[in-house]
Chains A and B, each alone.
Chain A
Amino acid sequence: MTEMSSRLSGPASHTVTARSVWPKPINTLINALINFLTRPRRLAPLLACAWMILIAGFAFAPHWFTAYDPLEGDVLASLAAPDAEHFLGTDKLGRDVFARIVYGARFSLGVGLGAVAISVAFGVLLGLIAGQRQRVLDEGFSRLFDVVSAYPGVLLAMLLITFLGGSLVNVAIAVGIAGIPKFGRVVRAQTKAVQDADYVVQASIYGRSRFSAFLVHVVPNVLTVVPVVATISVGTAILTTSGLSFLGLGPQPPTPEWGLMLAESRDYLRTAWWTGVLPGIAITLTVIAFAVLGGSLQRHIEGRAP
């Protein structure tokens, strides 16, 4: 009896606070976002948001934040300690470290977002296919995910760079490919779960074709899991990217990329700690910010905020 009534009242059990033209799951997502932005109840997500806004500012309008050029250095001021003039010091070529961190934001953010865009595009597509009721497709794609994730991310990226050559774009492609299985698996599991939900069954009882029910009911509900994983993944993508550019496989000098800055600092660490400490703080805080925001987004979507 309970099963019967829950089937009949299917969609009604998915109540949302605001009515809109969007499909309900997307609406839930939008509500979660609004909720998060207007009623923050925790300090950590607020701080993460603030840092993110700052980094986004660095990426879009670096010249607002610093008057120095990230590439032109004053050789006479080589390895100057932080002072009033260069408040985070200078590197071996006398370039302002703060200016280089500011200008480096666009590379890290760009590669992180680009890599995750690749992972999401292919991961969601393959996950939706693998989640179908076809056993062969499911096994095939699931094993494919196993194969790709059998390669450690850094090594897979190194392999691809051997063939493609080292550059910022190729690093993004390599890191993006390494991230496909993560999204593929999550989306596959969610597709499997949603497909058998009462409201999808009900839609087909009401005469929707399987394909139409899939598009209208399954896909939007599956996509709700993507933003959380994607947010956290941007952070891990930035982490892997910085490692590859530390190895010299990404952008080449004099690009002000954070990982590359750290690689260049290794020989001067003894005398100039600021060159080796500050870009690392920038990377770490950015990765933490993405992780915290992802976690917070998840709590809001699941409705257990704060």
Chain B
Amino acid sequence: MTSTRAMITKRIAPRLLTGLLVAWGAVTAAFIGMHALPGRVEDILAGDMSWPGLREAIAQEWGLDQSVWSQYVGFIWRIAQGDFGTSYVMRQPVADVIGPQIWPTVHLALSAGILAVVLAVLAATLTAGRGRIARAAASLIELACVSAPVFWIGLLLLLAFSFTLRWFPVSGADGWRALVLPAVTLALPTAGLLAQVLREAMEKALVQPFVVTTRARGIGETLLRLRHVLRHAALPAVTLGGWLVGGLLGGAVITEKVFGRPGLGTVTLNAVLSQDAPVVLAVVMLAALIHVLASTALDVAYVFIDPRLKVQ
């Protein structure tokens, strides 16, 4: 098992280190953004109020009178402990503001992600390397899914399935019925992109010698595609994984607005509109950390999925 240990030291450890570095960079960038961009924190907090000493009082209350370095060190230290600060507007810990809202969003993003993978795998396995018409139709549908705004897909689904057919509720988050349309809405753009990548990779894999060999062994077409070609084609799709997780989180914000679902999206949107920077920062950093975590995990998984990397 020396190969496994070599893999850990040569590939996995550096990848984890890079992931940590990027996470630190993302947090630092957020800190720099908060301090460098116009619309100074004191001004946001003061709002329309103004009297002598107000700005100083605010600065003292929020620790803004300390040196930038000590603020930065405190910021990083608190984030490492899971403390994202205090909401300017609601005057309570950010963790309490966003904490209860995380699960509805994760629930939505996760269902959409699974649905997207299933749809993409189905579309790619069924149409890769088939007749011209099947491929053209599939690519057209995929292109439309990738190019249509996610909120518009949501509006169309609402129009068809809630207003006209009355199969699903228009808004809310009670039960699985309320989850179906938002999940499909969020899944379609991701599925379209994933299917495009998967089909191209499968068409490349289908002409490789190993496919000829496997066919010569007398394997059925379905089994060949599912067991051999798909595994080969999954590699480029896996590298997209981290990016797709980010896309799902960003898309969830918009989807929640379309369907009036509670979740991080609503909280973030309200925070943006009231310039509640700590809340927005916390959500954005959380998304960045999830993205880094996901892409690091997938890169590590890549080493195990692709047996060729073990030989080197």
Question: In the bound complex, what is the Cα–Cα distance between A144 and B276 (angstroms)?
Answer: 26
A259 to chain B, nearest CB (A): 7
Asked if B262 CB lies within 8 Å of chain A CBs, one says no
Interface class of chain A by DSSP:
helix
Asked if A280 CB lies within 8 Å of chain B CBs, one says yes
Which residues on B sit within 8 Å (CB–CB) of A262?
A: 149, 151-152, 155
Asked if A154 CB lies within 8 Å of chain B CBs, one says yes
Determine if A291 and B147 form an interchain contact, defined as CB atoms under 8 angstroms apart: yes
Determine if A283 and B148 form an interchain contact, defined as CB atoms under 8 angstroms apart: yes
Question: In the bound complex, what is the Cα–Cα distance between A7 and B243 (angstroms)?
Answer: 40
Which residues on B sit within 8 Å (CB–CB) of A249?
A: 269, 272-273
A230-254 interface with B by 8 A CB criterion? 235, 239, 242-243, 246-249
Determine if B151 and A150 form an interchain contact, defined as CB atoms under 8 angstroms apart: no
Given A269-B163, A291-B143: A150 and B155 interface contact (C-beta under 8 Å): no
Interface flags, A146-183, vs B, CB<8A=1, else 0: 11111111111011111111100000000000000000
Asked if B21 CB lies within 8 Å of chain A CBs, one says yes
Determine if A284 and B246 form an interchain contact, defined as CB atoms under 8 angstroms apart: no
Question: Which of A13-21, A109-117, A202-210, A270-278 lies on the face that meets chain B?
Answer: A270-278
A222 to chain B, nearest CB (A): 23
Determine if A288 and B250 form an interchain contact, defined as CB atoms under 8 angstroms apart: no
> Whose C-beta in chain B lies nearest to the C-beta of A239?
B149
Which residues on B sit within 8 Å (CB–CB) of A146?
A: 18, 22, 25
> Whose C-beta in chain A lies nearest to the C-beta of B268?
A158
Asked if B38 CB lies within 8 Å of chain A CBs, one says yes
Which residues on B sit within 8 Å (CB–CB) of A273?
A: 159
Which residues on B sit within 8 Å (CB–CB) of A246?
A: 149, 151, 254, 257
Question: In the bound complex, what is the Cα–Cα distance between A248 and B265 (angstroms)?
Answer: 13
Asked if A265 CB lies within 8 Å of chain B CBs, one says yes
Interface size class on chain B is 35 or more
Which residues on A sit within 8 Å (CB–CB) of B292?
A: 150
The CB with the most chain A CB atoms within 10 A, among B246, B251, B258, is that of B246
A172 to chain B, nearest CB (A): 16
B11 to chain A, nearest CB (A): 17
Asked if A297 CB lies within 8 Å of chain B CBs, one says no
Determine if A158 and B22 form an interchain contact, defined as CB atoms under 8 angstroms apart: no
Asked if B156 CB lies within 8 Å of chain A CBs, one says yes
Which residues on A sit within 8 Å (CB–CB) of B243?
A: 149
Interface flags, B26-66, vs A, CB<8A=1, else 0: 10011001100111000000000000000000000000000
Seen from chain B, the residues whose Cβ lies within 8 Å of a Cβ on chain A are 18, 21-23, 25-26, 29-30, 33-34, 37-39, 143-144, 146-152, 155-156, 158-159, 163, 243, 246-247, 249-251, 253-254, 257-258, 268-269, 271-273, 275-277, 280-281, 283-284, 287-288, 291-292
A143-B18, A262-B151 given; name 7 further pairs at CB < 8 Å: A149-B246, A159-B30, A243-B149, A248-B269, A265-B155, A276-B155, A277-B155
**Shortest beta-carbon contacts, A-B, top 5:** A152-B250, A154-B250, A280-B152, A147-B25, A163-B37
A-B contact pairs, 17 of them (CB 8 A): A143-B18, A147-B26, A149-B246, A152-B288, A152-B291, A153-B247, A154-B251, A162-B275, A163-B38, A242-B149, A242-B151, A243-B254, A259-B149, A277-B155, A284-B148, A284-B149, A291-B143
